[in-house]
Copies of this chain bind each other. A is one copy, B any other.
Amino acid sequence: MTITTIGLDADDTLWHNETIFRLTHDRFVELLAEHGDREHIETRLSATEQRNLRLYGYGVKGFTLSMIETAMELTGGEAPAAVVREILAAGREMLSHPVETLPGVDEALAALSENHRLVLITKGDLMDQERKLAASGLGDLFAAVEIVSEKHAHTYDRVFNRHGTGAAEAVMVGNSMRSDVLPALQAGAWAVHIPYAVTWAHELADAPEDDPRFAALESIGDLPGWIQARIGQA
């Protein structure tokens, strides 16, 4: 087996992200507490996000707009200006939040980049993802960065052809079964799932069964060893 290229998801694979979304969710629930309990508010927000994905895509700006829209829905169209201002401020804070890499990421990427081409493959807002990569200090380790609107099998096919030697000689690594693992396997790549503490409902999916090209690892620190063990195998 040859692996020339390693695709890495960014949010919640290299650095914390969902945690920051959760904190903003908590703040949103508090802001609108008189209009429903947590479950009701979360359900409405999630429905708005889902409905707006087609227009807004992924990322903080669309999430901020969806929070404002949900606040309007929950208040019968009469959200107080103070609530809207708080939501705008929460969005701005998310966009300027310090980037904290996950344990083991720096060492694992430094080791992997010695013998492999690393490619960052992520959804989200263009400028926000570029900012986070720069702030993470990991930028120089990547041969290429692809910020994409969706992660389908053809996305991985295209990216691994453009930046590597095709999907068959690539591994995709990420925390989302739905976006990182399943479509990469479908494209013919290997895939490694490294779960994060919290997963956005939209990204949940079942693990593939009995797929020899799939592995679940507890930490990215285990990735160099896993790849090393596979190289040279049939």
Residues of chain B within 8 A (CB-CB) of A77 are 81-82, 85
Judge whether A142 is part of the interface by a CB distance below 8 angstroms. Answer: no
Identify 7 residue pairs between A and B in the complex whose beta-carbon atoms are under 8 Å apart, listed by A's number: A57-B126, A57-B128, A65-B65, A68-B84, A68-B88, A81-B81, A81-B84
Contact A88 B72 (CB under 8 A): yes
Give the distance in Å from the alpha carbon of A130 to the alpha carbon of B58 in the complex.
14
Give the distance in Å from the alpha carbon of A71 to the alpha carbon of B225 in the complex.
55
Q: Count this chain's copies in the assembly.
A: 2
Give the distance in Å from the alpha carbon of A201 to the alpha carbon of B2 in the complex.
52
Mark interface residues in A143-166 (1 if CB within 8 Å of B CB, else 0): 000011100000000000000000
Given known A57-B126, A126-B57, A127-B149, contact A65–B84 (CB-CB < 8 A): no
Residues of chain B within 8 A (CB-CB) of A55 are 92, 95-96, 127
Residues of chain B within 8 A (CB-CB) of A84 are 68, 72, 79, 81, 84
Residues of chain B within 8 A (CB-CB) of A206 are none
Interface size class for chain A? 20 to 34
Judge whether A125 is part of the interface by a CB distance below 8 angstroms. Answer: yes
Distance between A87 CB and nearest chain B CB, rounded to angstroms? 9
Judge whether A61 is part of the interface by a CB distance below 8 angstroms. Answer: yes
